[in-house]
């Protein structure tokens, strides 16, 4: 089985710093780190003002940075062949193509928020899988945001952390044009070791939820079916949810009555709204089950969530369905697809002594079906964004 290790943060910071020095012939001033995430439950509920329950991964993105005095921005990545160079003043919505837009967009958003962002050299390195539904984009945004805050000598207090979340959201939605809901940036910045993060987007609050896994492993399977948030599928689902809210006369589907949802005439719009209102209820049920240590109940919540995403929201794939069903057959206590859908990853809660059996079973099923080989990672609940000192 292919298992992606997160790496030691100090060593990865050193690697990012070395890549910076090789490219720019000088050492960086700071290295920012921000994690990817796996969402336990609460899918496509963030932009509907609902509840989500993500976990920060130990796998993270590292942004080595140094300020410039000439207003130039240079962005390079260990995983991308082409760097991007441009003027800080020229960065605007739609102005920076491809992957570099996520990094440059953060600089624009922080300037829009009133921060005196200088020109900057950036070098990016990461252990977050790309296109796996594990929020590599938010990890990139938030690592850059933390690095810039470090260059400006700012303390990462609660107010600044909220500002960095907002900058990441604006970079992704306005500069890149991906209509995301804010969960990914929030967990990347606010994640806590050993905890999930319950985010209530209607009340605009969040709190850490200790995860007492006790002999159980959060196993993520990357199906290697990649997806892009800008390819239209995500935006289409969001538009259908907004249409449902308009039809129901509510500000968002968080306020929707389940019985009223079932009276929506359009079958597709009704199904989309049904997923959202039932998914919010499943987040609450999962929280209660986790608090009680009721793993069969957690498993039922995960299964219902996956079926809803497969049938009502129509964002699953054969690979995701296979990963979920085989995981449970091989001993997982709970499994579901996670992330925006149309590819990406599944998440399972597996007894420690069944992890190897579950990964072997998934790998065998993928080979039998002719799918690309999956990869796996262990999602140890980890801390959110911050500066990292490279090892010397």
185 and 311 belong to one structural domain: no
Model confidence pLDDT, tens digit, residues 16-38:
999 999 999 999 999 999 999 99
176 and 245 belong to one structural domain: no
Q: Tell whether 55 is covered by a domain.
A: yes
- Say what the pLDDT of residue 231 is: 59
Query: Rounded to the nearest 5 degrees, what angle is found at the Cα of 278, between the Cα atoms of 274 and 279?
Result: 110
Q: Which domain holds residue 303?
A: 216-378
If you average pLDDT over residues 64-84, what whole number do you get? 96
Catalytically annotated residues = 184
- Dihedrals φ, ψ of 190, to 5°? -100, 0
111 and 228 belong to one structural domain: no
Q: Tell whether 4 is covered by a domain.
A: no
Listing from the earlier edge strand, what are the strands of the sheet with 205-210? 51-52, 195-200, 205-210
Contact of 61 with 33, CB cutoff 8 Å: yes
Instruction: Give residue 143's Cα distance to chain centre.
Output: 13
Number of domains in the chain: 2
If you average pLDDT over residues 171-180, what whole number do you get? 92
- Say what the pLDDT of residue 392 is: 58
List the CATH number of the domain containing 267: 3.30.70.890
If you average pLDDT over residues 171-179, what whole number do you get? 93
- Say what the pLDDT of residue 3 is: 81
* DSSP per position, 301-318: HHHHHHHHHHHTS----H
Q: Tell whether 392 is covered by a domain.
A: no
253 and 182 belong to one structural domain: no
* DSSP per position, 26-82: S--SEEEEEEEEEESS--S-GGGT-EE-EEEEEEEEEEEEEEESSSEEEEEETT-SS
Residue 314 Cα distances to 167, 173, 255, 279, angstroms: 30, 23, 23, 14
- Dihedrals φ, ψ of 243, to 5°? -65, -40
185 and 223 belong to one structural domain: no
20 and 153 belong to one structural domain: yes
176 three-state secondary structure: helix
362 and 245 belong to one structural domain: yes
Q: What is the mean pLDDT of the chain?
A: 96
Q: Tell whether 359 is covered by a domain.
A: yes
Model confidence pLDDT, tens digit, residues 295-349:
999 999 999 999 999 999 999 999 999 999 999 999 999 999 999 999 999 999 9
Name the CA radius of gyration of the chain, rounded.
Answer: 20
Distance from C-alpha of 57 to C-alpha of 43, rounded to nearest angstrom = 17
If you average pLDDT over residues 272-300, what whole number do you get? 98
- Say what the pLDDT of residue 62 is: 98
Residue with tokens 């005439």: 265
Greatest Cα pair distance in the chain: 64
235 and 187 belong to one structural domain: no
- Say what the pLDDT of residue 391 is: 67
Instruction: List alpha helices for the chain, DSSP H.
Output: 9-24, 100-112, 136-151, 158-170, 183-190, 233-248, 258-261, 267-292, 295-311, 318-329, 355-369
186 and 270 belong to one structural domain: no
Residue 238 gets which letter from DSSP? H
Model confidence pLDDT, tens digit, residues 242-278:
999 999 999 999 999 999 999 999 999 999 999 999 9
Q: Tell whether 3 is covered by a domain.
A: no
Burial of 246 (0-12, 13-18, 19+ CB in 10 A): exposed
Q: Which of 191, 176, 94 is nearest to 143 (CA)?
A: 191
Confidence class for position 178, pLDDT limits 50, 70, 90? confident
198 and 220 belong to one structural domain: no
Model confidence pLDDT, tens digit, residues 112-169:
999 999 999 999 999 999 989 999 999 999 999 999 999 999 999 999 999 999 999 9
Confidence class for position 179, pLDDT limits 50, 70, 90? confident
157 and 301 belong to one structural domain: no
Q: Tell whether 335 is covered by a domain.
A: yes
Contact of 276 with 47, CB cutoff 8 Å: no
Model confidence pLDDT, tens digit, residues 211-249:
999 999 999 999 999 866 555 688 899 999 999 999 999
187 and 272 belong to one structural domain: no
Q: Tell whether 319 is covered by a domain.
A: yes
Q: Tell whether 1 is covered by a domain.
A: no
Distance from C-alpha of 254 to C-alpha of 283, rounded to nearest angstrom = 13
Contact of 355 with 219, CB cutoff 8 Å: yes
- Dihedrals φ, ψ of 119, to 5°? -60, 155
List the CATH number of the domain containing 152: 3.30.230.10
């Amino acid at each position: 089985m292919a298992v992606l290790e997160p790496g030691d943060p100090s060593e990865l910071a050193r690697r990012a710093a070395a890549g910076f020095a090789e490219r720019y012939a000088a050492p960086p001033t700071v290295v920012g780190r921000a994690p990817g995430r796996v969402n336990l439950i609460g899918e496509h509920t963030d932009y509907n003002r609902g509840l989500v329950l993500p976990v920060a991964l130990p796998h993270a993105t590292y942004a080595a940075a140094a300020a410039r005095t000439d207003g130039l921005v240079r962005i390079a990545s260990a995983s991308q062949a082409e760097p991007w160079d441009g003027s800080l003043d020229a960065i605007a919505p739609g102005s920076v193509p491809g992957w570099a837009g996520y990094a440059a967009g953060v600089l624009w958003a922080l300037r829009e928020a009133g921060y005196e962002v200088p020109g900057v050299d950036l070098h990016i390195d990461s252990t977050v899988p790309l296109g796996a539904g594990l929020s590599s984009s938010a990890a990139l945004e938030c690592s850059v945001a933390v690095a810039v805050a470090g260059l400006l000598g700012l303390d990462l207090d609660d107010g600044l952390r909220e500002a960095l979340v907002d900058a990441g959201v604006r970079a992704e939605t306005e500069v890149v044009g991906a209509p995301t809901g804010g969960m990914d940036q929030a967990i990347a910045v606010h994640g806590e070791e050993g905890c999930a993060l319950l985010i209530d987007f209607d009340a605009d609050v969040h709190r850490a939820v200790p995860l007492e896994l006790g002999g159980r492993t959060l196993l993520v399977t990357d199906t290697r079916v990649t997806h892009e948030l800008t390819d239209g599928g995500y935006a289409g689902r969001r538009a259908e949810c907004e249409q449902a809210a308009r039809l129901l006369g509510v500000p968002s589907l968080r306020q929707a009555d389940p019985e009223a949802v079932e009276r929506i005439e359009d079958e597709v719009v009704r199904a989309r709204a049904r997923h959202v209102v039932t998914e919010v209820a499943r987040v609450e049920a999962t929280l209660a089950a986790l608090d009680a240590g009721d793993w069969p109940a957690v498993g039922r919540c995960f299964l219902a969530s996956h079926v809803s995403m497969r049938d009502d929201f129509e964002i699953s794939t054969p690979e995701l369905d296979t990963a979920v069903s085989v995981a449970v057959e091989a001993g997982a206590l709970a499994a579901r697809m996670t992330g925006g859908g149309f590819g990406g990853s599944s998440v399972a809660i597996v007894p420690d002594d069944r992890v190897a059996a579950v990964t072997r079973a998934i790998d065998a099923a993928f080979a039998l079906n002719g799918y690309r080989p999956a990869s796996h990672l262990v999602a140890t609940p980890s801390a959110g964004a911050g500066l990292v000192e490279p090892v010397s």
